[in-house]
Chains A and B, each alone.
Chain A
Amino acid sequence: MTVDTSDTMEDRHAKLAAVRPRLLSFARLHLRDHAAAEDAVQEALISAIEKNDSFSGRSGYETWVFGILKYKLLDQMRQQKRMGRWEPFSDETNDEAIDRMFLQDGHWHEASRPQAWGDPDQAFENEHFWQVFDACMLALPDNVARVFSLRELMGLSTEDICKEVGIKETNAWVILHRARLKLRACIEKGWLEEIA
């Protein structure tokens, strides 16, 4: 693949300015703290400018910047955990909000049955989808959101998540199941209502 040499420094600054809101949203979903997210993004942007020459062009520039941010977020999350800012992960298996989605016999409760969402790929092109996604992520309990973010936004395996977070893999699967059910229900509520 050819190294991308067409960008000027002005082009890259413009790309940084354009991608900043998405970087900030990404950081907030991981750190659950707006001020810390602002700091992490600012550091990532400064780092991208300082390391400009090490951008190889083999992935998109924005992807490279997201990669820098991911390392910073992992460091921040480790620090948050070390400083005791995370609630302990409980092994409790009961979750009333999820139990209410289902009848006693395990069938979907009528009000919770999944509706059709239309073309999935169109969702990702829809700005409103992302607004609802972000809002639903922020509404999740912090520890549930952290595990989901590490898995689906950061791209860690459940094995790696367990090392980072200090839980068992079976617990990671339980938490992810909970996250997916809650997110699905929240997004359906927030997104389809707008379309209707």
Chain B
Amino acid sequence: MSMKDCKAATRLMSKQLDTPLTSRERLTLRFHLLLCGACRRCEKQFQLLHRAGEHFNQAPPRNDKNDPPGSS
């Protein structure tokens, strides 16, 4: 991936919300973000969307016997 490629960077900033990135992926993304203000904003906004669900439905604490599906 070219370090200038914003589209590929958005794939990585999305993927890191679902599964750990490889070291190479992480470094590639971090380096791109050093250079690109638009992608830094995009990453923050993806993270906000990631947290929206928790705020939407008041995620329960762990170990509650009424835990909804998907709680760790």
Contact = CB atoms under 8 A, between A and B. Distances in A.
A80 interface: no
Contact of A133 (B7, B18, B52, B59): B52
B6 A106 contact: yes
Interface in B52-66: 52-53, 55-61, 64-66
Nearest to B8: A106
Given A22-B56, A173-B14, A106 B2 contact: yes
Given A70-B68, A172-B18, 17 more contacts: A55-B66, A67-B68, A105-B2, A105-B4, A105-B5, A108-B6, A117-B44, A120-B44, A120-B47, A124-B52, A154-B70, A155-B69, A156-B70, A169-B19, A181-B14, A184-B42, A187-B45
Contacts of A22: 56-57
Interface string B1-15: 010111110110011
Contact of A71 (B7, B64, B69): B69
A59 B45 contact: no
Interface in B5-55: 5-8, 10-11, 14-15, 17-19, 38-39, 41-42, 44-53, 55
Contact of A66 (B42, B48, B50, B58): B58
Interface residues on B, range: 35 or more
Contacts of B15: 173, 177
B38 A152 contact: no
Contact of A160 (B45, B46, B66, B70): B70
B55 to A, nearest CB: 4
Given A153-B57, A180-B14, A56 B45 contact: no
Contacts of B18: 151, 157-158, 172-173, 176
A154 to B, nearest CB: 6
A79 B52 CA distance: 27
A136 to B, nearest CB: 10
Contact of A152 (B4, B41, B50, B64): B50
Nearest to A71: B69
A97 B10 CA distance: 15
B40 to A, nearest CB: 9
Contacts of B57: 22, 26, 63, 66, 70, 153
Interface string A6-49: 00000000000000001000100000000000000000000000
B61 A59 contact: yes
